[in-house]
Amino acid sequence: MKRIQNDLHYHSMLVVSSEGRSGGLAMLWKDETNLHIQTYSPNHIDAFIFDNRNSPWRLTGFYGRPEEHRRNETWRLLRHLSSRFSVPWLCVGDYNEILVLKEKQGCIPKPLHLMLDFREALSNCLLINLGFQGNIYTWSNGRESDNFVQARLDRACATLEWRDQFPHARVNHLHSSYFDHVPIMVTTHNPSMYTRRKKVPHRFEEKWVTHPACEATIREAWVGSVCGGSPMFQLFEKIKQCRQALVRWSRLAFRNTKSRLQEKYRLLEELANQNKAKNNEAIWGVRDDINSLLYHEEVARRQRSRSIWLPAGDKNTKFFHQRASQRRRKNHIAGVYNANEKWCNTNDGIANAAEQFFQALFTSAQPRNIENVLDPVERLVTPDMNQQLLQPYTPEEIKRALFQMHPSKSPGLDGMSPFFF
């Protein structure tokens, strides 16, 4: 291990010796990493990492016992490690178990009770599988034909607190030419998440309507004059004026929510510590202000999380924040392959690849004798139905369709959701 340490230019190292030719663990780190070892055993190395930019977090290198009849010892150790500290936790290593059947290929299927035990252990420890990029399998036995077996035995799991602290973390399955396991690499910061930022229009915030001045702001902007244009143009301009006025107003009405909350909590503490009856009215007023600010924050988080089935006001802000973060990670496009199988990860490259794909998809190949193909197909739209479909829309139909939409869904290009209308 000393030779490996020197080759990789790591300054510090902890090694847990192997038992014969099996087992053995090592954790290596550089001087600039403020890492403190907590505990270790033949199956784990547990450490704390102190970072000036983030709060302290915990890193555990984990090795599950390969024997199936000793798997309970592995999960008992994992639960014990979970109970020791409550800081953000990343647990990465060879668990020697799979979560679902598709994580194994070849030989006989994995018994269900072993997978259920693994899932239960992760659930008890509040650990979430971080996913991966690359090939699904991290281990293979290297045999041929029907004896060839692959499985995803290595993985990275973390608590929600760690995921919130490192929202752009990624797990990559690399390649190895020497070992039966492939290396897995966890990166806590993804540069592409920062370099490819795009301008997003200000959307209508549902929390705005909880403020008494919201309606007056809309009325004042709506009655503003619009010069020329068709009725439809004037309508769009009025909506645009309302959005711009609301955005300007919200920057004053909802500014610095976090600092205002901290100030209110500080004031509440001062009043409560005086232990005077004459402060009760002031205390109630400060509590109302705090609850109002918390409610505004919860409504905003709920709208971003798209968890419309869960009502605001039930202390669900943390859940909404986690849902919104999850949606943002899921919707992020790291890159795409274009028609020439070239990887594109820039804004222009992704846009061009998408444009080329749909242009090719919707471009006719000019087939011959298409009428002979379509004639045998039964017509489902009768002439009467077609005539009815061609009728112009009525204001009542438009209003009915608009008011049937969920208030938080389907914002237009201008950012105004059905809630505004």
159-168, 317-326, 411-420: the lowest-pLDDT one: 317-326
**pLDDT computed for residue 53 by the predictor:** 78
**pLDDT computed for residue 305 by the predictor:** 58
Tell whether the model's pLDDT for residue 316 goes beyond 60: no
Q: Please work out, in degrees rounded to the nearest 5, the angle formed at the alpha carbon of residue 389 by the alpha carbons of 383 and 394.
A: 145
CB atoms within 10 A of CB 296: 20
- DSSP secondary structure letters along 196-239: S----PPPPPGGGGGSTTHHHHHHHHHTS---SS-HHHHHHHHH
Crossing angle between the packed helical segments 214-222 and 231-253, to the nearest 10 degrees: 150
**pLDDT computed for residue 194 by the predictor:** 46
The pLDDT of 13-28, averaged and rounded, is: 86
**pLDDT computed for residue 255 by the predictor:** 76
The pLDDT of 16-31, averaged and rounded, is: 86
Tell whether the model's pLDDT for residue 295 goes beyond 50: yes
pLDDT tens digits along 377-400: 888 899 899 999 999 989 898 888
**pLDDT computed for residue 197 by the predictor:** 56
Tell whether the model's pLDDT for residue 339 goes beyond 90: no
Alpha carbons 336 and 358: distance in angstroms, whole number:
14
**pLDDT computed for residue 150 by the predictor:** 92
Query: Average pLDDT of the chain?
Result: 84
Alpha carbons 89 and 44: distance in angstroms, whole number:
14
pLDDT tens digits along 213-272: 888 888 888 888 887 788 888 888 888 888 888 888 888 887 777 787 888 888 888 888
CA-based torsion, 343, 348, 351, 354: positive or negative: negative
Counted residue by residue, the chain has a size of: 421
pLDDT tens digits along 43-59: 999 999 998 777 899 99
pTM of this structure:
0.57
pLDDT tens digits along 98-137: 999 999 998 888 999 999 999 999 999 999 999 898 889 9
**pLDDT computed for residue 16 by the predictor:** 92
CA-based torsion, 38, 41, 46, 47: positive or negative: positive
Residues 6+ apart with CB under 8 A from 135: 173, 182
Tokens 């004053």 belong to: 252
More confident residue, 284 or 204: 284
pLDDT tens digits along 160-218: 999 988 988 899 998 876 788 999 999 987 655 444 555 656 777 877 877 888 888 88
**Residue 91 tokens, joined:** 């647990």
Q: Which amino acid is at 173?
A: H
Tell whether the model's pLDDT for residue 309 goes beyond 50: no
**pLDDT computed for residue 180 by the predictor:** 86
Tell whether the model's pLDDT for residue 21 goes beyond 90: no
Confidence of residue 18 (pLDDT cuts 50, 70, 90): confident
Three-class SS of residue 52? coil
Crossing angle between the packed helical segments 112-124 and 71-84, to the nearest 10 degrees: 10
Which among 20, 117, 135 has a CA at the least distance from the CA of 64? 117
Burial pattern 386-414, b for ≥16 Cβ within 10 A else e, equals eeeeeeeeeeeeeeeeeeeeebbeeebeb
**pLDDT computed for residue 34 by the predictor:** 93
**pLDDT computed for residue 74 by the predictor:** 95
The pLDDT of 306-333, averaged and rounded, is: 60
Domains, the chain, with CATH or none = 2-190 (3.60.10.10), 206-318 (no CATH)
CB atoms within 10 A of CB 92: 19
**pLDDT computed for residue 304 by the predictor:** 63
The pLDDT of 36-43, averaged and rounded, is: 94
